[in-house]
């Protein structure tokens, strides 16, 4: 299963957001970058793609550049679930620079043919927790994990629970195509229990575990490990940090 983008661009399943929304993204394409005259290098790469087939929702490029720019030109490890034709792996390689190690994970064995210097491909099912445990062992700590795989609820939740612990502090975890949380064929439904959107709401509770008055929400590994959650249309970015109990202080002189 490729998820919604492939189905959408094949013209069979769901309309592109630009066809069904109004508001700031009504055109669907935001081709000017938010970060100055040089623009967004990821978007520039995508629009003039010299490499393999690459299939992304265009508004994701702002999100990527906002959260991934700090990882460029450093010896980082990026794992992306969902290889497709390998275009995004080549894009990450070009964007992150020569020190980056890029690991693609896919259920399709044909994807191994897409390996090249700096790019490794591991074959497995992202819903299989045993496989994910062996992947953690094989790859070691990662700085960036991107879930652009099959986009079902079970896949997204299993992959997050098994791979978030593999992130280094300061790392980021991105889950893409979260609109599938509203689509039955992916296990979704509006406010249906078990969707990744509902799961993320529970993570928000856990993030606030320090402030519980009656034992709920509990302090969990996510309370101690999530620095922030950033919610965008169809993408959640979760920052990994080693969090300690927050403290409140007052400074300065009283006014009354
Ligand atoms: C949306 S495409 C990936 C697009 C690619 N990241 C890009 O930007 O061009 C989704 C991919 O997820 C893979 N996939 C689907 N189900 C999977 C699963 N259970 N485990 C691992 N990969 C899966 C598919 O084989 C497909 O290549």
Q: What is the mean pLDDT of each run of 10 residues along the chain (256 residues)?
A: 34 32 37 55 94 95 96 98 98 98 98 98 98 98 98 98 98 98 97 98 97 92 98 98 96 97
Nearest-atom number in ligand 1 for the CA of 111 is: 27
CATH architecture label of 33-240: 3-Layer(aba) Sandwich (3.40)
Residues 202/218, Cβ–Cβ less than 8 Å: no
| Distance (Å) from CA 251 to ligand 1 centroid | 51
Q: Where are the domains of the chain?
A: 33-240
The answer to whether 151 is a known catalytic residue is: yes
| Distance (Å) from CA 80 to ligand 1 centroid | 9
3-state SS assignment for residue 110: helix
Ligand 1 near 3 CB (within 6 A):
yes
Residues 240/225, Cβ–Cβ less than 8 Å: yes
Reported pTM: 0.88
Q: Which of these, 175, 174, 169, lies nearest to 227 by C-alpha position?
A: 169
3-state SS assignment for residue 179: helix
Q: Could you say which of 16, 55, 59, 151 is catalytic? A: 151
């Amino acid at each position: 299963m490729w998820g919604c983008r492939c189905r959408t661009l094949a013209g069979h399943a769901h309309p592109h957001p630009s066809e069904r929304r109004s508001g700031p993204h009504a055109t669907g394409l935001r081709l000017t970058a938010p970060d100055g005259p040089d623009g967004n290098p990821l978007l520039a790469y995508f629009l003039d793609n010299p490499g393999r087939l690459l299939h992304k929702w265009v508004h994701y490029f702002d999100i990527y550049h906002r959260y991934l720019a700090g990882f460029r030109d450093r010896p980082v490890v990026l794992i992306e679930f969902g290889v497709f034709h390998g275009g995004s792996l080549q894009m990450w390689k070009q964007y992150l620079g020569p020190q980056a190690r890029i690991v693609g994970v896919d259920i399709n064995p044909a994807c191994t043919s897409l390996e090249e210097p700096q790019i490794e491909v591991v074959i497995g099912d992202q819903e299989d927790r045993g496989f994910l445990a062996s992947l953690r062992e094989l790859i070691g700590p990662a700085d960036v994990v991107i879930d652009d795989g099959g986009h079902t609820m079970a896949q997204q939740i299993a992959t997050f629970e098994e791979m978030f612990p593999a992130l280094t502090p300061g790392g980021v975890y991105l889950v893409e195509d979260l609109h599938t949380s509203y689509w039955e064929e992916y296990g979704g439904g509006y406010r249906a229990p078990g969707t990744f959107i509902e799961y993320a709401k529970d993570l928000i509770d856990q993030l606030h575990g320090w402030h519980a008055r009656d034992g709920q929400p509990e302090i969990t590994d996510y309370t101690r490990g999530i620095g922030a959650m950033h919610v965008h249309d169809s993408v959640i970015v979760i920052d990994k940090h080693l969090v300690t109990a927050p403290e409140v202080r007052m400074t300065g002189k009283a006014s009354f």
